[in-house]
Amino acid sequence: MSAHPDPNPLVSIILVNYNAADLLAESVGAALASSVPVEVIISDNGSRDKSLDQVRARYGADPRLKILENGANLGFAAANNRALPLARAEYLLLLNPDCLIATDTLACLLPLFDAWPQAGLIGCLVRDPDGREQVACRRAIPDPGKALRHLLGLDRLLGLPGQTLDQRHQPLPDGPVAVEAISGAFMLIRRRVLETVGPLDEGYFLHCEDLDWFVRIRQAGWSILFASQVAVIHHKGSCSNAQPLAVEYHKHRGMLRFFRTHQAHRYPAALRALVTAGIWAHLALKAGQIAWRRLKSQSTRGSRYPCYERPIERASVPVNGSASGQDTP
């Protein structure tokens, strides 16, 4: 594809970057190689690594690339929103900087907007680098009842299709299906829907802003599609592994904001207090797990028997926009 900017790009791809390292350049390169006319907008949250330098060195001469430097970590929602005025296309893709699309990913997904006139937002099959389907790829909107069933292991036992928080164990659909929620790592939305429901809620710093968006989109009468026949690779957590406790804090803070915004009014005060306490208790549990893993990591570092330490394996997984849709066992 020519490096000259199309006067009317079909898709504006927005990537929020915060110290994504080498993965940002890989993601940008994959996006620019798309078979449909695109523009790529990086909204950088004050990264201190060399990720922007690498992108400029490799793609700085490409006029389809725009870089917005926010100067500080504004959070995921705010950084995406800052980039929206720069986007010119009819469709917008909010893409994580550690997510790799294929050349034909967008070409396979865009026709679904014509086939499904009520489709406001489309997601696809998001896989780990080893080929496994990620947890949040297709899911139900969480609420206290679903969360309790999930914790007790009752969701799979009861077998309620489409209502389990983790749907990876259900067969992949043969074609696009309407779902309550998709992965926030890859969100392809119509501009008309964005103008109707508004941008992401900047009250969420990191996590759950996508769930809030999904609820608002469906309340406005639009559908959310999950297209299992199209697959992308997501190096999940690559941008946040350095600060796991901070990530967990913002995730749980987002859970509480989501509950208070969309669900708290359904429950009596006593149950609202119980849910709030449960969210913070879960954060405390996560903090303990993080501390324990860090302690174990420090104790095994410099092991006298390094040959017994299993290396991290990065499987080579083909990324085809027109994936077969069959999950990896």
Which one, of 156, 150, 217, lies nearest residue 181 by Cα? 217
Q: What is the pLDDT, as a whole number, of residue 152? A: 67
Pairing mode, strands 91-95 and 99-100: unpaired
**Residues with pLDDT less than 70, the chain:** 1-6, 150-165, 237-242, 299-329
Say if residues 187 and 123 touch (Cβ distance below 8 Å).
Answer: yes
Q: What is the pLDDT, as a whole number, of residue 18? A: 95
Cα distance between residue 53 and residue 268, in whole Å:
53
Which one, of 244, 199, 193, 162, lies nearest residue 82 by Cα? 199
Given the structure tokens 């937002």, which residue do they identify?
Answer: 121
Given the structure tokens 């996508």, which residue do they identify?
Answer: 210
Q: What is the pLDDT, as a whole number, of residue 161? A: 54
